[in-house]
Amino acid sequence: MHEHSKFLLADSQIPSAWVNVLPSLPEPLAPPLHPGTQQPLGPEDLAPIFPMEVIEQEFSPKPLIDIPGEVMDIYRLWRATPLYRARRLEQALDTPARIYYKYEGTSPAGSHKPNTAVPQAFYNKRAGIRRLATETGAGQWGSALSLACQLFGLECTVYMVRCSYDQKPYRRMMMHAWGGEVYASPSPHTNAGRAVLAEHPDSPGSLGIAISEAVEDAATHSDTNYSLGSVLNHVLLHQTVIGQEAKLQMDQAGDQPEVVIGCFGGGSNFGGLALPYVLDRLAGKGPRIIAVEPTACPSLTKGRFEYDYGDTAKLTPLVKMYTLGHDFIPPGIHAGGLRYHGASPLISHLVALGHIEARAYAQTPVFNAAVQFARTEGILPAPESSHAIRAAVDEALAAREEGRGRIILFCLSGHGHFDLAAYESYLGGQLVDVS
Amino acid sequence: MHEHSKFLLADSQIPSAWVNVLPSLPEPLAPPLHPGTQQPLGPEDLAPIFPMEVIEQEFSPKPLIDIPGEVMDIYRLWRATPLYRARRLEQALDTPARIYYKYEGTSPAGSHKPNTAVPQAFYNKRAGIRRLATETGAGQWGSALSLACQLFGLECTVYMVRCSYDQKPYRRMMMHAWGGEVYASPSPHTNAGRAVLAEHPDSPGSLGIAISEAVEDAATHSDTNYSLGSVLNHVLLHQTVIGQEAKLQMDQAGDQPEVVIGCFGGGSNFGGLALPYVLDRLAGKGPRIIAVEPTACPSLTKGRFEYDYGDTAKLTPLVKMYTLGHDFIPPGIHAGGLRYHGASPLISHLVALGHIEARAYAQTPVFNAAVQFARTEGILPAPESSHAIRAAVDEALAAREEGRGRIILFCLSGHGHFDLAAYESYLGGQLVDVS
């Protein structure tokens, strides 16, 4: 009999509800503030850009929220995603640690992003919306939302950060293949974009700028809503299918994680895996949890925990989060999905409360781990996800130093099929560490 | 209760043996001939480039051949692959047909190719070989073999058809990420390559030329063997895991296919799905089986069934197959993996015996079906695989015309993540049909 390395679930084991940690928090989140009045905002303030069912989820006091059947029907196209034990990587590291990873790259878009794109498209369709506007960094989110909109018969407009638009033409083409409309951001289509272009005609763009454009597009068209791929509570809520499945699969494996790891940009794949384990911690029996970010955009490790805008043009509400400042433009690292000045308020809150550790890595050690992973486990990881691999490898090496086992679980949030130029640069010795 | 659209297998249901149709053929295959003497060749003639265990499989009289444990360990990283019922596509076509597809794109390399790359690397490693040389068209095979060699500690040299080398840099980079060494073919590294370059310095290359280079490399280095990704009996043998799994999954679905479809280049994904069903036909109770090729390289539909060389430089044995002539250079269509002048001798034999139908399509209708598939089923298919989609759609539309059901099964052999430029060209109305 072989030793199992892959743990699957039947369709009947896919979670039928999302897990909401809001009612379990020892202290409530600081309320979002209206960008004009700076006063706490109500659901009606968000109604111009979000459907009411999504707004309710953003503030919901319910511990579990049912997943609609129409969403389950689409989740089942690729969910449950596999959980693997990385036996070949363990062997290469000569570590007594056991390393598990939850692989979200099997979705059609290649990452965890459709977990929330699908319900967001569904709720907007049900609210009578015709079109969604959004931003995208590396293109993972934009392609996920293009797919989801196509499946529900919505139009999709994507403001793609200029430097990614130029460097990652394949992601842009993928959005086209799924029927999405893509503009390089800053674009001449919005006031926010035109204002940036007037001052910096060659601006490489940033997520903050692209968010401003998408929010403005939604706010100024009554048939159009805005959709965000990370940061907000309802986005992380939708992603909790990841952690719920992982728990069932770790049970199958007969191991309980002592360390749970995810890469961190806005917080969506990280929260998706970590939040169900956060509930265990809040109940007094959870694992260590580590958020891993790039040194080039170190919001959790170097940012301040304070109210800030989610975008450059100050169109979004102010939220209390770890932030580098809404006008911070990070250098153009390959992990474009982690180039956000802020952080999920929920995860920020849990970091401040001491339930989550944060760690930052430069590009070179991250790609070193990515190549080792690709050459042992076979899967070619996304640069974003490879931050989690780096931390998992370091935890496994620490276990070796200490001469004792350690059970590590990380989220491999996506594949790197559209990031091969970054690999080529690393393998050619041309990668520069910016921080 | 929802209607099932996805059929999975447990690790314990992955086939533990490959299915060999050779002993069941009503007439034996015509023997391969030595390129020098034109006489039937023996195992010893192939020993300079293949390990003996592979040569035995090429001619094996055994109906089942056990899969080594070391190969099973790697198969389990992604196998069993899922089988889907394409309910959303059926709905879009408004057809009474039921369409199923076996999806091989979940392997790390993104196609069915690792099914044979892994055992070939394993047998070569066990025979003490240090390096494998091979050719690749679109890059699917070269990346699969680079991965397999990496997992078994072998070096890998890939001769990549020049036009793909230039058009698909990401596939080349993927091989690098897995440690493969890649040359554009025709290359200055071999006599075969230099001969072509002397006459045609700007040659776009062809699979026939690249095979000549790889065979020469293997034949002239004692520590190096040659590895082929299609055409030969042992390659199709390894691919029969596809059809064996599909049969178990169709049983789960409670349907038996009336039509089995695969795209056809050299014959490996086609044979992988079809051969277990061919055995049913040979026993008098099998489905219709359709091989789908591009009109630009119509070996089965327009070629002659006769002895020909597998490569341009006449280094390979002569085999009896449908061929367009070993010096035929097909136009540079996007389905680079289907640009082969010849065809599997085994599949050719079955076509000649009337057990397999052949059909050809031009690029535009193929991409039309690919986009419809991507926008209903979510998965972005490879241009090669999309030939099978086109035929499945046409069979489903024929069923609608006839006003009766039809159960259709096809092989979706790989994803199109590295073919997005082709999609962009199609969507932009710039695709040209060459034939």
Query: Would the pLDDT of A155 be above 70?
Result: yes
3-state SS assignment for residue B62 = coil
Q: Is the pTM of this model over 0.80?
A: yes
Q: Which residue of B has its CA nearest to A145?
A: B378
Q: Considering only CB atoms, which chain B residues are within 8 Å of A420?
A: 169-170, 173-174, 177
Query: Would the pLDDT of B308 be above 80?
Result: yes
Can you give the pLDDT at residue A1? 47
Q: Considering only CB atoms, which chain B residues are within 8 Å of A9?
A: none
- Confidence tier at B435 by pLDDT (50, 70, 90): low
Contact B417 A418 (CB under 8 A): yes
Can you give the pLDDT at residue A4? 82
User: In which residue are the tokens 């919306």 written?
Assistant: A129
Q: What number is the average pLDDT over the span A51-56?
A: 98
CA–CA separation, A116 and A109 (whole Å) = 12
Do the Cβ atoms of A14 and A75 come closer than 8 Å? yes
Query: Would the pLDDT of B160 be above 80?
Result: yes
- Confidence tier at B1 by pLDDT (50, 70, 90): very low
> What count of CB pairs under 8 Å joins A to B?
112
Q: Which of the pair, B281 or A333, is modelled with greater confidence?
A: B281
Q: What number is the average pLDDT over the span A107-126?
A: 98
| Nearest CB to B378; choose among A147, A169, A378 | A147
Average pLDDT, chain A: 96
Please state, in angstroms and as integers, the Cα–Cα distance from residue B345 to each residue in B234, B266, B271, B325, following that order: 12, 9, 11, 14
Do the Cβ atoms of A186 and A162 come closer than 8 Å? yes
Contact A151 B377 (CB under 8 A): no
State pLDDT tens for residues A80-116: 999 999 999 999 999 999 999 999 999 999 999 999 9
Query: Looking at this predicted complex, what is its ipTM?
Result: 0.95
Query: Would the pLDDT of B41 be above 90?
Result: yes
Q: What is the DSSP string of B385-410?
A: HHHHHHHHHHHHHHHHHHTS--EEEE
3-state DSSP of chain A: CCCCCEECCCHHHCCCEEECCHHHCCCCCCCCECCCCCCECCHHHHCCCCCHHHHHHHCCCCCEEECCHHHHHHHCCCCCCCEEECHHHHHHHCCCCEEEEEECCCCCCCECCHHHHHHHHHHHHHCCCCEEEEEECCCHHHHHHHHHHHHHCCEEEEEEEHHHHHHCHHHHHHHHHCCCEEEEECCCCCHHHHHHHHHCCCCCCCHHHHHHHHHHHHHCCCCEEECCCCCCHHHHHHHHHHHHHHHHHHHHHCCCCCEEEEECCCCHHHHHHHHHHHHHHHCCCCCEEEEEEECCCCHHHHCEEEEEECCCCCCCCEEEEEECCCCCCCCCCCCHHHCCCCCCHHHHHHHHCCCCEEEEECHHHHHHHHHHHHHHHCCCECHHHHHHHHHHHHHHHHHHHHCCCCEEEEEECEECCCCHHHHHHHHCCCCCCCC
User: In which residue are the tokens 């535009």 written?
Assistant: B364
- Confidence tier at A341 by pLDDT (50, 70, 90): very high
State pLDDT tens for residues B83-118: 999 999 999 999 999 999 999 999 999 999 999 999
CA–CA separation, A400 and A404 (whole Å) = 6
Q: What number is the average pLDDT over the span A236-247?
A: 98
CA–CA separation, A129 and A150 (whole Å) = 13
CA–CA separation, A163 and A233 (whole Å) = 28
Q: Which residue of A has its CA nearest to B426?
A: A177
CA–CA separation, B122 and B329 (whole Å) = 33
Q: Which residue of A has its CA nearest to B178?
A: A375
| Nearest CB to A380; choose among B108, B421, B424 | B108
Q: Which residue of B has its CA nearest to A423?
A: B177
Q: Which residue of B has its CA nearest to A148?
A: B378
Q: Give the rounded distance of the alpha carbon of A346 from its chain centre.
A: 13
Contact A170 B110 (CB under 8 A): no
- Chain B residues contacting A via beta carbons under 8 Å: 2, 4-6, 8, 10-11, 69, 72-74, 76-78, 84, 88, 106, 108, 110, 147, 150-151, 169-170, 173-174, 176-179, 371, 374-375, 377-380, 417-418, 420-421, 423-424, 427
State pLDDT tens for residues B240-285: 999 999 999 999 999 999 999 999 999 999 999 999 999 999 999 9
Q: Which of the pair, B431 or A242, is modelled with greater confidence?
A: A242
| Nearest CB to B380; choose among A174, A376, A377 | A174
| Nearest CB to B420; choose among A11, A110, A170 | A170
DSSP state of B336: G
Can you give the pLDDT at residue B2? 62
Average pLDDT, chain B: 96
